[in-house]
Structure 1
Amino acid sequence: MAELVDDFGAFQELAPDERAQPVDGPLGWPGYDAARARAAESTGERESVVCGVGHVGGRQAMLIAFEFGFLGGSLGERTGDRLVAAHEAARAARLPVVSLIATGGSRMQEGMRALVQLQRVAAESARTRAAGLPQLAVLRDPATGGGWATLGAGADVILACPGAQIGFAGSRVRPADADPVAYRAESQLATGHVDQIVPPERLPATLGAWLRLLSATGGPPAAPPEALRAPADGSPTGGEPPRGGWSAVERARAAERPRAGAYLDAHFEEYQEISGDRCGGVDPGMRCGFGLREGRTIAFAAQCGTATTPAGFRTAARLVRLADRLGIPVLTLVDTPGAANDADAERRGAGAAIADCFAAVAEARVPVTTLVVGEGGSGGALALCAPGDTWVTADSYFSVIAPELAAAILKRRPEEVRRTADELRLRPQDLVELGVARGVVPTHARGSQSP
């Protein structure tokens, strides 16, 4: 932990109030006291976790560090006492909690008295969550068992060291034919259970950035970012709303127009992204995270022009709920031809995921602002839209259904798609007139500054 803590912010360890234990622990496990004594001598610690207040990246936080050399970083009663005290102190001082996890699970020598510490830890984490304080986890090697399933997987933001073993099952208790790759950090990232993999040398800076972003909370609604650049020569875009419905569709589908990444890069001085739905899925076409804009943090959920999968909707809902709990306003960027509707999407719960995203936006107590930057394809786009605070760019459209699909449903010929687009009234100016959007955000030339 010493390599994480800033020199100017000396680490102040919480004084442990350790309960007395009977000889060889609650189970009278032969040799347990001797094993603890050897662990203390080899590590210089009296327990498997050290808790205290320190500065990371210039930000004060409650730090919980596991010492794997002390009985495999296992959790016992005294470990539970320290974790409870750390969360209580964090809430009293209004500090974020950062857990540096390296553990093999609950301590066998204390039996069920050790296992029930997971309930205590989960309860304290829930209280800290209800207090509106962020919790970050750093998964070292290994992060398994109850430590992963409480402090690790239950954190708001989860960072992992490259190659770290991560999983509920430790290496000695997995099925004999288990694929070891599934228990590595890289696999956990790919399946939506970890937000970022961070090399050790970058960990102080990355943690500092996250603490900085999650501390600059509150403030008025997020302003919709303006369009970022002039179109390439020959592009139909140019800042003026399109004249016809099909022209609006073509402009929204044009490869030259700005995409979500350009908006994020131009709008925020810095930002960090979360990844995955925590249910086994990742959608590369949904970018979610927190960015710093003029000294305050804004959460963002941005579609990237692809059909949004169930994992994408669940990730966006996760982002909105986290921002709401931390008191951070939300900006959503809408750009999708629609929700993914293939068989795999249905198997993965497309309807439930879209419903959950609608619910997260509807339930949010913080301001939510939406900018439609490209295609607004039906309910898959509307799920991210803020009722009453949705804006559109001149390079966008929004429709109850794509013109081609509308024509097919109405049994019209292909050459009637353009007329159908006009009748759908999907242009930016139509959306304002219909009361769906508050206004059209103009396109600015490349290099222009925000108003």
Structure 2
Amino acid sequence: MAESARGLIDSIATRFTEWLPETPGGAFVDGPIGWRGYDDARARAAERTGEPESVVCGSATIGDTEVALVVFEFGFLGGSIGEAVGHRVALTFQRARQRRLPVVSLIATGGSRMQEGMRALTQLHVLAREVAATRVAGLPQVSVLCDPTTGGGWATLGAGADVVLALPGAQVGFAGSRVRPGGDASAYTAEAHRDTGQVDQIVERGRLRDALARWLRLLTTPAPRAAEPPRALGGAGSSRTGWEAVIRARAPERPRAARYLDAYFAWREPVRGDRAGGVDDGVLCGFGWRDGAAVAYAAQCGTATRPAGFRTAARLVRMADRLGVPVLTLVDTPGAAADGTAERDGVGPSIAALFEAIASARVPVTSVLIGEGGSGGALAFAAPGRLWATPDGYFSVTSPEAAAAILKRSALEVPATADELRLRPADLVRLGIVREIVRP
């Protein structure tokens, strides 16, 4: 059986003050649709759990951050969502906006309460409205998926949060275990949802307090100015020719994104996936702690970037923009994935989404070319007017090989074609594409 709401609260919060709103609506016998025995079932649930409803709400302190807290009590009718739950959660979100507090939701629910019929189901509209209004207000929302998180609770408070954490082995899915079709049961786990980009992190129960404290610190402490470009970690000398620049950028020993991020941040937490079933492990996104404040990052790892990678980066930039957190992007790709699968998965629209996210961002975006800059797949990660480069990178309208093929040149002419493309960092500075070359 799921852990009690009070047990969860005691384990993650150093202070908790419960908010007890009055239950709305008139008096019904056995609820709004007259479900036989509903009043008795509620009374037994209250006696068993000590709670008047399936959710406990209030203000709390987690780490150093005051939050509005929503915690489901699964022992009360399976944590189901009825009118009283919708009312309590809505008032909690409204108080969060009034007091400018982030919202943390710990979810354990079987879905909408069937004993209240459509009056229960329409509470999902209520929850969705509050999630959307809080998003517009620029306040962070973090959800924790406990066991189980199914139905409308998953599809509103859970999946609608900025950052989604989950406990290991938690059952997660829109359909509960008693109503889903037969087949692959492993698809309905927290781990499966992380693998498909719907959950950011699996967090061990004993680490939940610390994980929430770290995330809340990151999401509520934006750096006051644009991110500084990181120093170069590779060679310092300038490339004499365009082809030499290409060879240096493609060298397997050249520092990649993970090394740059580890050197740049004191610590960091990942954001994973595009929330549409896709993950590109060649793109790292998240928030990191540097000089006492948070910077968001989206970094290519030197592989061809897939549609899910562009969509995840766009999601990261939009989230950071809502929260006022400056962004660092690291450019390093031979280009966008161009295979048939990528095309069917919408590589064009996904690149367009990232271009739009960066172009419309109100927070400053700092970009650094740390390796290959292959055409539009690289340019989508680069902020116009705020691009730096390391000495061992290059940026080109297309690869030298592709340019030679388009011009019907032989393979022997590829190096000369690279020179003609003016793709070295020094060339990019002269062209006004790159501000400066960063040094070790």
TM-score by length of 2: 0.97
Which amino acid in 2 is paired with 1:317? A
Counterpart of 1:204 in structure 2 is 209
Change in Cα spacing, 1:8 to 1:179, as seen in structure 2 (3 Å) is closer
Deviation sequence 1:156-202 (CA, Å, 0-9, x none): 00001111111111111111x23111111111111111111111011
Q: CA deviation at 1:57?
A: 2.1
Q: Return the alpha-carbon distance in structure 2 between the equivalents of residues 6 and 115 of structure 1.
A: 31
Matched residues, percent identical? 63
Q: Return the alpha-carbon distance in structure 1 between the equivalents of residues 199 and 186 of structure 2.
A: 15
Q: Return the alpha-carbon distance in structure 1 between the equivalents of residues 9 and 121 of structure 2.
A: 30
Question: Match for 1:134 among 132, 140, 149?
Answer: 140
Q: Return the alpha-carbon distance in structure 1 between the equivalents of residues 108 and 290 of structure 2.
A: 35
Q: Report the 3-state secondary structure (helix = DSSP H, G, I; strand = E; otherwise coil) of the residue aligned with 2:260.
A: helix
Deviation sequence 1:27-51 (CA, Å, 0-9, x none): 1111100000000011110000000
CA contact (8 A) 2:111 2:152 kept: yes
Structure 2 residue 36 is the aligned partner of structure 1 residue 39: no
The runs of 5 or more residues in structure 1 that have no matched partner are 232-237, 445-451
CA contact (8 A) 1:390 1:437 kept: yes
Counterpart of 1:392 in structure 2 is 389
Q: Return the alpha-carbon distance in structure 2 between the equivalents of residues 7 and 250 of structure 1.
A: 51
Counterpart of 1:71 in structure 2 is 77
Q: Return the alpha-carbon distance in structure 2 between the equivalents of residues 189 and 3 of structure 1.
A: 22
Question: Match for 1:293 among 271, 290, 293?
Answer: 290
Counterpart of 2:347 in structure 1 is 350
Q: Return the alpha-carbon distance in structure 1 between the equivalents of residues 249 and 273 of structure 2.
A: 27
Q: Report the 3-state secondary structure (helix = DSSP H, G, I; strand = E; otherwise coil) of the residue aligned with 2:68.
A: strand
Q: Report the 3-state secondary structure (helix = DSSP H, G, I; strand = E; otherwise coil) of the residue aligned with 2:15.
A: coil
Structure 2 residue 102 is the aligned partner of structure 1 residue 105: no
Q: CA deviation at 1:292?
A: 1.0
Structure 2 residue 189 is the aligned partner of structure 1 residue 191: no
Deviation sequence 1:404-434 (CA, Å, 0-9, x none): 1111111111111110000000000000100
TM-score by length of 1: 0.94
Q: CA deviation at 1:305?
A: 0.4
Q: CA deviation at 1:60?
A: 1.4
Structure 2 residue 254 is the aligned partner of structure 1 residue 249: no
Which amino acid in 1 is paired with 2:298? A
Which amino acid in 2 is paired with 1:61? V
Question: Match for 1:55 among 58, 61, 64?
Answer: 61
Question: Match for 1:124 among 130, 151, 155?
Answer: 130
Which amino acid in 2 is paired with 1:255? P
Counterpart of 1:366 in structure 2 is 363
Q: Return the alpha-carbon distance in structure 1 between the equivalents of residues 261 and 10 of structure 2.
A: 30
Change in Cα spacing, 1:287 to 1:4, as seen in structure 2 (3 Å) is farther
Counterpart of 1:213 in structure 2 is 218
Structure 2 residue 92 is the aligned partner of structure 1 residue 95: no
Counterpart of 1:448 in structure 2 is none
Deviation sequence 1:280-321 (CA, Å, 0-9, x none): 100000000001111111100000000000000000000000
Counterpart of 2:3 in structure 1 is none
Change in Cα spacing, 1:326 to 1:254, as seen in structure 2 (3 Å) is same
Counterpart of 2:232 in structure 1 is 227
Question: Match for 1:410 among 384, 407, 419?
Answer: 407
Count how many residue pairs are aligned between Structure 1 and Structure 2: 434
Change in Cα spacing, 1:317 to 1:408, as seen in structure 2 (3 Å) is same
Q: Return the alpha-carbon distance in structure 2 between the equivalents of residues 281 and 164 of structure 1.
A: 20
Counterpart of 2:278 in structure 1 is 281
Q: Return the alpha-carbon distance in structure 2 between the equivalents of residues 322 and 396 of structure 1.
A: 29
Q: Return the alpha-carbon distance in structure 2 between the equivalents of residues 361 and 57 of structure 1.
A: 32
Q: Return the alpha-carbon distance in structure 1 between the equivalents of residues 19 and 290 of structure 2.
A: 35
Change in Cα spacing, 1:219 to 1:5, as seen in structure 2 (3 Å) is farther
